[in-house]
Structure 1
Amino acid sequence: MSLNILQYESKIWATADLLRGSGIKESEWPSFMMPFFALAMIESRLVRMFDELKNEHGEAAFAAIEKDDLYDLIRDKGQGYNIFIFEKKQTLTDICKNDKSFEIDFQAYLMGFDGETKDLLGVDAVEGEKFLDIKGVIAKLKAKKVLLGYTKLWAEIDLKPFNNSEITTLEEHIKRKWADISAETAGEQYTPDDVIALISEIIASKIEENDKLLKIYDCTCGGGNMLFGVEDRINAKSKRLTQTFGQDWNDALYALAKIESRFRPDSKIEHGNTLVDDKFYNDEFDVVVANPPYGVSWKGYADDIGHDKTGRFKFQPSISDGQLLFMQHLISKLDSNGMGVVVHNGSTLFSGDAGSAESNIRKWMLDTDIVEAVIQLPTDEFFNTGIYTYLWVLNKRKRPEHKDKVMLLNASEKFKPLKKSKGSKRKEVDEASRLEIVATLTAFESNDYARVFEKEYFYFNKQSILLTNVDEDGKTFESLLPLKEDKKTGELKQETSLALEPLTLESGEVKLTDFSITKLAAGYTSLEQYVKPLVSRLDYKEQPLRVTVAGGAVYSFDSDREMLVKEVGGKKEALGCGKILVSCALKKATKAKAERIEISVELTADYQKDYEIIPFHKDPRSNQEAIAAFMARYISKPFEYLENVVGVELNFNKIFYKPETLRNVDEILTEILSIDSAIKNMESELGL
């Protein structure tokens, strides 16, 4: 192109000077700029399309076409219609020339668009979806008395010389600035050009050259910058025909993407919440890309997710973060040979314990062998956050030698510093780094910043156990518990506790002697209010708790020796490690007894649930042997195996951690002596 379209970036952004002068807050600028930018894009492309039709038919033949036939001809293009542009041969520039009739002409110009364009611009929206809401913006500009001046600024922006791809490039730069000032949460991330370029390079390295249409899908497409950016870059590298599909819930961004889609071959953009209303429910795609919101709650539509009938959500992650819902959705949209690249933050790698939905989703993904690689990008890559971000590379058609393997690629140092920061963005993955990353991914061999693992490397056992605590002599009260016959099987089984019938309970100042309490202490209105607080203070460890039963036997707990003690007539007997459990319950009145609180006391062994994290082995027998060996080495108390849950996490820090090189001791001592000498010299000079 003879002109660089990015020269218009500063000119477009200069329209905000008028907004600033009108007292409009910076955070509101995008809502004023979006509809007028859309107007400039639409008009330029319609005029360009009109000129192409003239050239195609010839000037004289085109002029002879009847109005209805012209309308049908333009409608078949699917790019929109405007009476002023096509019938009156007037543009926004012409309308702005007459100050007196401007407002009437401008409204007529807007009403002259086809129905879909008017809906997307929000020309006559009254309620419901207003999309770009140009009607509301015009009302505000009128109130500020700057509507004509603002419209003139946009009319001066002539995009007609540029093609679709060039206008898309400009649009990406403008939308990035909007995102930088209007993102309400850290979850709203605009994908930078260099990341889009890297994603495109990864996809291009894996697609085959053939005659099949390449269908590309983005389930959170926003204004379309990633979706269309990937398409343009793929088209520049491949001869395959492409078609884009996208969906977004944000009214204004959807409208921008929808407008853009009309100037691309058969592109389809839909409006709505992908997670509860998939507009492409019957479609599968060759390529999926997405940068879903980070750490954004899906509480508002949890019921819909819970009742989803599509089968796409194998597990439901934490309600506070829906990233892994989008991941599952995207995987469900891949065809049998599909691949994808999805941008996430670090929580998708490790959040959630073994058995949690997050861990189970990761395990499901690795079990199905759809994850080919995870790439850690540098910090300070995005415009409004400095966190690490990660590219998940999904592939349903791995090469045979990549089967059941995953590459972790640490590209955190593969960047070039920006000469001037853009918000939080201080780095970019430059072209040389992008090509190196793709080459490493293609080679699929370990090096100093990339490691290839069998997928089971990321699995781990969370083995739950029930420990039986023992006293200093290695004894437990469990051995003194009575045996009881199981009525169903006839087997003798050990009781879990021994019930006592106490006469008194004492712990510090608390003393209870009536175990079917029916009288209230002064100032109390209920038995529960009176007794429960007392019972809650009867802690057998924190305070010396003494339980006296019939016959004068006293049971207590020796906290120093971690054992139960029975004392009869001054003689003490060690019962082993155990617990004294005291509980109370409100009993309703019966014919035989009044309403009362009954207190129960029982002795139990001291059981403790615990778990151990143990490396995983894919062979079940080897895995169990590894667990047993771990227990024999590290667990000295008696225990029972409980549930074993296999978890999955991908830990970049553990794999790529490089300990700081410590300085030599002699070097440190030399430096200390040097400093000490310098201090003494200073003291000497000061006469100290």
Structure 2
Amino acid sequence: MMESSNEKIQEVGKNIQEKAALVWSVADDLVGAFKPHEYGLVVLPMAVIKRFHDCLLPTHDKVLKTYEDVKNLAVKDGFLKKAAGYQFYNTSKFTFDLLTADPENIEANFEDFLNGFSENVQDILARMDFSSQVKRMIEGGLLYRVVSDFNSEKGDFSPEKIAAVDMGYIFENLVQRFSESYNEEAGAHFTSRDVIYLMCDLLVAGDNNAFEDEGISKTVYDMTMGTSQMLTCMEERLKALDADADIDVFGQEFNPFTFGIAKADMLIRGGDPNNMQFGDTLSDDKFTDYHFDYVISNPPFGIPWKREEKEVEAEHKKGAAGRFAPGLPSKSDGQMLFMLNGVAKLKETGRMAIIQNGSSLFTGDAGSGQSEIRRYLIENDWLDAIVQLPNDTFYNTGIATYVWVITRDKEEKRIGKVQLIDASNCYTSRRKNIGNKRVDITTACRDLIVKIYGDYVDGTFRDVDENGNEIIVKSKVLDAVTLGYNKITVESPELDEEGNKVLKSKKPVADTKKRDTENVPLDEDIDAYFKREVLPYNPDAWIDKKKTKVGYEIPFTRTFYEYKQIEPADVIAKRIEEHEKSLMAKLHELFGEEA
């Protein structure tokens, strides 16, 4: 899909990064009045404001004339939005050119300019607490200098020069720089476009209902939308398939800065800004009773959910009426709660692509919250596939990450099965790193992964990337039942001093010191396993069947493990001997025969 994908990916690493760096250089003027970790408090909202300004500039005079005509009307928003050509407007006479032309009155004029924005823009600036930063700039004598910086070439955000999608990535790059100054956790990372495109293609490629009779009509939801680039790219991908596709995107975000950027992006693209909601998804769900065709998300991992503990546990107690009925994960990591939230938001034919780290595959013993969540997905036959991404794919973390594909409506050949795809060796190395991001999933890589997902077969598959380098993807289709096990408790009798069994009510008393457990594959008979694996070594043992628990884990590493034959000892010894001879020859050559 989309021949220019690789070029756009490279723009993220080059043009977009360079543009963001130029904008961030405004921070040089903030030294002294602001601490380094506070620079983003000014740069981010100013970038949003300048983008609004540059979008509105061509219709500025028309909006002012319309405002004079309708200013006394009770309802005037519709007229002003129509005149502006956007879902927002500004009725102030000031532009950045006029602001910089009058340095003596910059404070009053800039206030007038900000107050001229429509209410939806005012909400964005309020979320960012921009008025406090304006006050600090005024106190530090910096306001005119900052406004002038954004009126220079580096602050030119006109739509003719920067497309909406690319502007979103510039915003995201700025947010990344701001976050790095806080040394945020590895899980609070950003998703680059190559990963998003792969997630989008996996969602669409496996969707039996992608095309309706009259074309594509879909709703898309991101529960941790950041600056909304996943939603933007999903819309872009669907419209590449059908230019007339009807796509409605929805998102929730807890960070006021990234929320402001997401809402700004939605306003600029002409969407419904009410679809962008502010709040903590886990504790304050803004989309109760909503269901979507697609869910696409990269939630934080390794982040505790203690802050949301009260609301999450209350939701869990609702049972099937709540989002977290199956179980609650460890309080140290809330990523699987987002997984459950996403599943709860899917239509009966819906699909989700969500990023998780490795702990979601196996952390948690049988009966634990994590295991119960895996059980919920697998026993309902919603877990479709898991794709391991290459390490060093993300800007702020190099750890192993996975895309889980959840499908509420599996096609027949996938029923009762789960596909594991190891794409850890399917990447193209970047010429220049961006933080921890050292590799890209280019078109050739993405096409190979998506093809193997669609072919649904076992094997190791090879191809070459755009530079002629080999790329490798492995696939294994497993019966879902093989991912489960019964954890049985094996008891042994307590013995008295004479070596006889201690009895109670004519039954042997269990010796808790000898208690043991065994994991019996779910597709194997427990009694047959016990007879074969335990009784020959402990004839008096028995199973306490009241303690048996069902567990699920996804043995990703074990599935793709390849045993490598160790060299025979005589071959190793011969190589060591040859190395010693070579070393001695060099010493003799260096020091002479006496060495």
Report the equivalent of 2:138: 142
Q: Does 2:272 align with 1:266?
A: yes
Q: Which amino acid aligns with 2:323?
A: R
Q: Which amino acid aligns with 1:185?
A: E
Report the equivalent of 2:91: 83
Report the equivalent of 2:486: 461
TM-score (norm 2): 0.84
Residue 478 of structure 1: SS of its match in structure 2? Answer: coil
Change (3 A) 1:627 1:20: farther
Residue 141 of structure 1: SS of its match in structure 2? Answer: helix
Report the equivalent of 1:254: 259
- The answer to which structure has the higher helix fraction is 2
Deviation at 1:182, TM superposition (A): 4.1
Summarize the alignment of residues 404-443 of structure 1 with structure 2, pairs less than 5 Å apart.
404-443=416-455
Q: Which amino acid aligns with 1:43?
A: H
Change (3 A) 1:654 1:304: same
Which of these two proteins has the greater Rg computed from alpha carbons? 1
Change (3 A) 1:8 1:105: farther
Report the equivalent of 1:118: 122
Q: Does 2:41 align with 1:31?
A: yes
51, 61, 68: which one aligns with 1:41: 51
Deviation at 1:257, TM superposition (A): 1.0
Q: Which amino acid aligns with 2:371?
A: S
Change (3 A) 1:671 1:106: same
Change (3 A) 1:609 1:154: same
For the 8 Å contact 2:66–2:80, the answer to whether it is kept is: no
CA distance in structure 1 between the aligned counterparts of 2:72 and 2:211, rounded to whole angstroms: 42
Summarize the alignment of residues 158-197 of structure 1 with structure 2, pairs less than 5 Å apart.
158-160=156-158, 161=160, 162-182=162-182, 184-197=184-197
Deviation at 1:332, TM superposition (A): 0.6
Deviation at 1:459, TM superposition (A): 0.8
Q: Which amino acid aligns with 2:53?
A: E
Report the equivalent of 2:80: 74
Q: What is the identity percentage for the equivalent residue pairs of Structure 1 and Structure 2? A: 26
Q: Does 2:566 align with 1:662?
A: yes
Worse-superposed segment, 453-462 or 172-181: 172-181
For the 8 Å contact 2:490–2:541, the answer to whether it is kept is: no
CA distance in structure 2 between the aligned counterparts of 1:98 and 1:377, rounded to whole angstroms: 53
For the 8 Å contact 2:224–2:299, the answer to whether it is kept is: yes
Change (3 A) 1:164 1:15: closer
Worse-superposed segment, 338-347 or 177-186: 177-186
586, 610, 618: which one aligns with 2:516: 610
Q: Which amino acid aligns with 1:148?
A: Y
Count of residues in correspondence between the two structures: 547
Q: Does 2:346 align with 1:340?
A: no
CA distance in structure 1 between the aligned counterparts of 2:178 and 2:194, rounded to whole angstroms: 18
Q: Does 2:135 align with 1:232?
A: no
Q: Deviations over 1:612-652 (max 9, x none)?
A: 1222217xxx3543344332345444334342212111121
Change (3 A) 1:636 1:45: farther
For the 8 Å contact 1:468–1:607, the answer to whether it is kept is: no
Deviation at 1:300, TM superposition (A): 1.9
For the 8 Å contact 2:485–2:521, the answer to whether it is kept is: yes
Q: Which amino acid aligns with 1:135?
A: S
Deviation at 1:152, TM superposition (A): 1.1
Task: Point out where structure 1 has 5 or more consecutive residues left out of the alignment.
Answer: 55-60, 123-130, 484-491, 497-603
Residue 78 of structure 2: SS of its match in structure 1? Answer: helix
Residue 625 of structure 1: SS of its match in structure 2? Answer: helix
Residue 658 of structure 1: SS of its match in structure 2? Answer: coil
CA distance in structure 1 between the aligned counterparts of 2:125 and 2:67, rounded to whole angstroms: 30
CA distance in structure 2 between the aligned counterparts of 1:75 and 1:63, rounded to whole angstroms: 10
Summarize the alignment of residues 216-615 of structure 1 with structure 2, pairs less than 5 Å apart.
216-239=220-243, 240-263=245-268, 264-266=270-272, 268-308=275-315, 309=318, 310-314=321-325, 315-448=327-460, 449-468=474-493, 476-478=499-501, 481=503, 493=506, 608-615=514-521
For the 8 Å contact 1:470–1:637, the answer to whether it is kept is: no
Change (3 A) 1:461 1:377: same
Q: Deviations over 1:122-167 (max 9, x none)?
A: 2xxxxxxxx2122122233234322211111112222222443343
Q: Does 2:576 align with 1:672?
A: yes
Deviation at 1:227, TM superposition (A): 2.0
Deviation at 1:178, TM superposition (A): 3.8
Report the equivalent of 2:549: 645
For the 8 Å contact 1:467–1:638, the answer to whether it is kept is: yes
Change (3 A) 1:163 1:386: closer
For the 8 Å contact 2:86–2:267, the answer to whether it is kept is: yes
Change (3 A) 1:369 1:183: farther
Report the equivalent of 1:214: 218
Change (3 A) 1:285 1:605: closer
Q: Which amino acid aligns with 1:93?
A: D
Q: Which amino acid aligns with 1:75?
A: K
CA distance in structure 2 between the aligned counterparts of 1:205 and 1:368, rounded to whole angstroms: 22
Report the equivalent of 2:532: 629
Residue 95 of structure 1: SS of its match in structure 2? Answer: helix
Report the equivalent of 2:592: 685
For the 8 Å contact 2:491–2:511, the answer to whether it is kept is: no
Change (3 A) 1:133 1:159: same
Q: Which amino acid aligns with 2:517?
A: Y
Deviation at 1:269, TM superposition (A): 0.4
Q: Which amino acid aligns with 2:198?
A: L
Q: Which amino acid aligns with 2:48?
A: A
Report the equivalent of 2:464: none
Deviation at 1:220, TM superposition (A): 1.0
Change (3 A) 1:64 1:43: closer
Residue 253 of structure 1: SS of its match in structure 2? Answer: helix
Change (3 A) 1:173 1:495: closer
For the 8 Å contact 1:209–1:238, the answer to whether it is kept is: no
- The answer to which structure has the higher strand fraction is 1
Change (3 A) 1:435 1:640: closer
CA distance in structure 2 between the aligned counterparts of 1:325 and 1:253, rounded to whole angstroms: 21
Deviation at 1:305, TM superposition (A): 1.4
CA distance in structure 2 between the aligned counterparts of 1:614 and 1:635, rounded to whole angstroms: 17
CA distance in structure 2 between the aligned counterparts of 1:495 and 1:677, rounded to whole angstroms: 68
CA distance in structure 2 between the aligned counterparts of 1:217 and 1:417, rounded to whole angstroms: 31
Q: Deviations over 1:56-113 (max 9, x none)?
A: xxxxx989966668753233666222112xxx3x422221121111221111101111
Q: Which amino acid aligns with 2:389?
A: L
Deviation at 1:251, TM superposition (A): 1.5
Worse-superposed segment, 287-296 or 166-175: 166-175
CA distance in structure 1 between the aligned counterparts of 2:556 and 2:304, rounded to whole angstroms: 26
Deviation at 1:30, TM superposition (A): 2.2
Q: Deviations over 1:226-246 (max 9, x none)?
A: 222222232223342101000
Residue 425 of structure 2: SS of its match in structure 1? Answer: coil
Q: Deviations over 1:324-346 (max 9, x none)?
A: 11111110100010001001111
Deviation at 1:12, TM superposition (A): 4.1
Deviation at 1:13, TM superposition (A): 2.2
Change (3 A) 1:330 1:33: same
Report the equivalent of 1:133: 129
Q: Deviations over 1:184-205 (max 9, x none)?
A: 2222121111111111111232
RMSD: 3.0
TM-score (norm 1): 0.73
For the 8 Å contact 1:28–1:182, the answer to whether it is kept is: no
